[in-house]
Amino acid sequence: METRKYELIVEGLRMIKEGALFVIIGSLIISIVSVALVFTIPFSTFLTQHPAQQPPIPHIIG
């Protein structure tokens, strides 16, 4: 009976560990995606609102 209880505890700990691993990986993915969105959205809106309006500079080449 004592060994059965120990097996149940080990199994529960294993399930908790797998669940925690899943939660950690999920939160990492969410944070990476949110950081990527925070970095890409301002740059894309900045590029679309302010296109490069610099005339070509030929006197550097010649």
Dump pLDDT digits (tens) for 24-55: 999 999 999 988 888 777 666 666 665 555 55
| Residue 42 located in a structural domain | yes
Name the domain count of the chain.
1
Q: What is the pTM of this model?
A: 0.46
Look at residue 56 and tell me if it is in a domain.
no
Q: Average pLDDT for residues 11-23, to the nearest whole number? A: 92
Q: 21 in a domain, yes or no?
A: yes
Classify the C-alpha dihedral 43-44-49-53 as positive or negative: positive
DSSP letters of 46-58? HHHHS---PPP-H
Place of tokens 């560990």: 17
Q: Classify residue 16: in a domain, yes or no.
A: yes
Closest residue by Cα to residue 13 from 5, 27, 2, 29: 5
Structural domain boundaries enclosing 28: 1-49
Q: What is the CA radius of gyration of the chain?
A: 27
- Is residue 54 in a domain? no
